[in-house]
Amino acid sequence: MMTPDTILTFSAPAARLKEALSQTGFVRDSAVHGSTYRTELEFPSGSVYVFQVPFEEEDGSLLLDGETSFFDGVSDSEVPEEVRESAMKRLLALRSRIESHVSQSYSPDRDKDRKATSMPTRSVASAENGRMVQDFDDMRALGKDMQRVKTGQQLQEQGLLPDPIQH
């Protein structure tokens, strides 16, 4: 599961790390453990494990201590291996988000080859609201944009959550 050179304790500017935590499905646990972030790991068997990661915040920086992470309400010996692996993948996905040099939110506009184009503006009165596209050119542009967007399955394969707000 974990290689000896895997470092699970990392820090970053608080705003950046909080954004990455949110995007990977973590929420601050203020009810029981005031200094942890938690996420629920659900499995097809119907079991749910609450994974907690302690943190310290100081001078605008946040230190996340994955080395002392734990599963709430269950002893370490009772946690199945697949649950441990899932938690490790979640921490590694979080670390890769923090270490990346690009913006932490996914955007199809991130492509380097894409050239900026200006779009003609329309008045609100002339825009046909309620439709995704107004004409064939808009449909073609939307199709190109949609080709660049990763599917939910592709995001999950990379260890990311397609929509962390729904989890």
**pLDDT at position 73, please?**
86
| Rounded Cα gap, residues 9 and 63, in angstroms | 7
The encoded tokens of residue 32 equal: 């029981």
Mean pLDDT, residues 20-41:
81
* 30 vs 53, residue with greater confidence: 53
Q: Are 68 and 56 in contact (CB under 8 A)?
A: no
**pLDDT at position 103, please?**
46
On whether the pTM is more than 0.85, the answer is: no
Concatenated DSSP letters of 70-113: EETTS-GGGS-HHHHHHHHHHHHHHHHHHH-SS-SS--GGG-SS
pLDDT mean across residues, the chain = 77
pLDDT digit string (tens) for 80-111? 899 999 899 888 888 888 877 444 455 555 55
pLDDT digit string (tens) for 33-53? 568 888 888 888 888 899 999
Q: Are 133 and 142 in contact (CB under 8 A)?
A: yes
* 29 vs 56, residue with greater confidence: 56
Q: Any idea which of 20-29, 45-54, 70-79, 129-138 has the lowest mean pLDDT?
A: 129-138
With 60 as the cut, is the pLDDT of residue 19 above it? yes
Query: Per this entry, what is the length of the chain?
Result: 167
> Which H or E run contains 63?
strand 61-65
Please report which confidence band the pLDDT of residue 3 belongs to, taking 50, 70 and 90 as the band edges.
very low
Look-up of token digits 């073609």: 140
**Residue range 9-105, CATH number:** 3.30.310
SS3 state of residue 17: helix
* Every domain of the chain and the residues it spans: 9-105, 108-148
**pLDDT at position 2, please?**
45
pLDDT digit string (tens) for 123-140? 666 665 566 677 778 888
